[in-house]
Amino acid sequence: MPFKPGQSGNPNGRPKGSGDKRLHIKKLLEDNLESVFMSVIAQALEGDMTAAKIVLDKGYPNPRSYSENLNIDITKIASSADLEKIIEEVMLKSLRGDLPDDQGKTIASLTKTMSELHKLGELDERIKILEGNK
């Protein structure tokens, strides 16, 4: 049954103009942010581990992974030997700590996929030669 124009589907619902409670709480927090944070710091200093975690997470967040430019031109990769050189460079940079682990894993995975594609291309060429289609 459709609603009639100008008539609420829930007449006992939230009254007009009552506003969003979340916005009210956010405003209160913004107005008192410094005192709230100082209270949390005081609790952390008293040994409250939850408060300590909050303070440390906000003051010293986990470092984000950074991006290392390897300057790899994939258009110049012509053989498996070229891919081996890239993998070796990635491994050395990862082992020295010059490249984040997650980035090293991603590059190694992409290089492996590219290597498999090159091998399939080489096999296709060999089959064409053997069948006399080239």
**Greater confidence, 51 or 76?**
51
Smallest CA-to-CA distance from 62 within 70, 53, 71 is with: 53
Q: With a cut of 80, say whether residue 48 has pLDDT above it.
A: yes
pLDDT value of residue 44: 93
| pLDDT classification of 46: cutoffs 50, 70, 90 | very high
- On whether the CB atoms of residues 134 and 125 are closer than 8 A, the answer is yes
| pLDDT classification of 134: cutoffs 50, 70, 90 | low
Q: How far apart (Å, rounded) are the C-alpha atoms in residues 127 and 114? A: 20
Q: Which two tokens stand for residue 83?
A: 């891919």
Smallest CA-to-CA distance from 102 within 90, 113, 114 is with: 90
Smallest CA-to-CA distance from 111 within 134, 80, 133, 132 is with: 80
Q: How far apart (Å, rounded) are the C-alpha atoms in residues 105 and 80? A: 19
Query: Could you read off the pLDDT of 4-43 as tens digits, one per residue?
Result: 777 777 778 777 777 788 888 888 888 988 998 899 999 9
Query: Could you read off the pLDDT of 61-114 as tens digits, one per residue?
Result: 766 666 666 677 777 777 778 878 888 888 888 888 778 778 888 888 888 888
pLDDT value of residue 110: 84
Task: For residue 121, give the amino acid letter.
Answer: G
What's the half-sphere exposure (Cβ side, CA atoms, 13 Å) at 89? 13
